[in-house]
Homo-oligomer: A and B are copies of this chain.
Amino acid sequence: MKLSFSLIVVLTVVGLVAHMAPASGQTGEGAAPVFVTKILPGYRDWKLISVAHEEGNLNSFSAVLGNDVAIKAYRERKLPFPDGSIIAALHYRFVPSEENNKVFGQPQSFVAGDPTNIQFMVKDSGKYASTGGWGFGHFNQDGSLGGDALLKTCSPCHAKASRDFVFTRYAP
């Protein structure tokens, strides 16, 4: 889940760069704009889609939230997701809870530690046509946009998901 949200939109990016700066000849990675460049307001109030945990280098704890359009589509099992759907993955460190373990009497409890990043998927079948209709964004804890190397991994990975680029299933 975590690694997969990113911003590669090669064809559209090339087109956009060409439109913005036709004389510059910039077609490399450094000039590539990304589609979701600002943290979307209000995401922390969105409803729960589900939770996830990744081991390994990620060691992440995720809460996946959706705006009303996305939640409605999930609940109605509507695929592909309609334009306007937005999915936010809030990532935290996966850490043991000393307080909980003390109460349980054994090490068994894990909770969300420090936040690490927030990732968005925005459905707009026209704007993001070159990447399955989804725009991707990755924002570091300080609010900065993720680097190109990371952002380029999002779309190709999500393309492998079995349901319209989306890995996360709705938890009832």
Which A residues have a C-beta under 8 Å from some C-beta of B?
A: 1, 3-4, 44-45, 47-48, 50-56, 58, 61-63, 65, 90, 92, 94, 97, 99-100, 102-104, 106-112, 115, 157, 160-162, 167-169, 171-172
Contacts and interface: CB of A to CB of B under 8 A. Distances in A.
B51 A62 contact: yes
Complex A-B, nearest 5 residue pairs according to Cβ-Cβ distance, in ascending order = A55-B108, A53-B110, A112-B171, A56-B108, A51-B51
19 contacts: A4-B103, A48-B48, A48-B63, A51-B63, A51-B111, A52-B97, A52-B100, A52-B109, A52-B112, A53-B61, A53-B94, A53-B111, A54-B109, A56-B108, A63-B63, A90-B171, A99-B161, A103-B160, A103-B161
A50 B54 CA distance: 16
Task: Select the residue from A55, A58, A115, A168 with max chain B CB neighbours within 10 A.
Answer: A55
Given A45-B47, A160-B103, A55 B112 contact: no
Contacts of A168: 111
Contacts of A171: 63, 90, 92, 112, 115
A104 B153 CA distance: 12
Given A3-B104, A58-B108, A115-B172, 20 more contacts: A45-B47, A47-B47, A48-B48, A48-B65, A48-B90, A50-B112, A51-B92, A51-B111, A52-B97, A52-B109, A52-B110, A52-B112, A53-B110, A54-B110, A90-B171, A92-B171, A97-B167, A100-B167, A102-B160, A115-B171
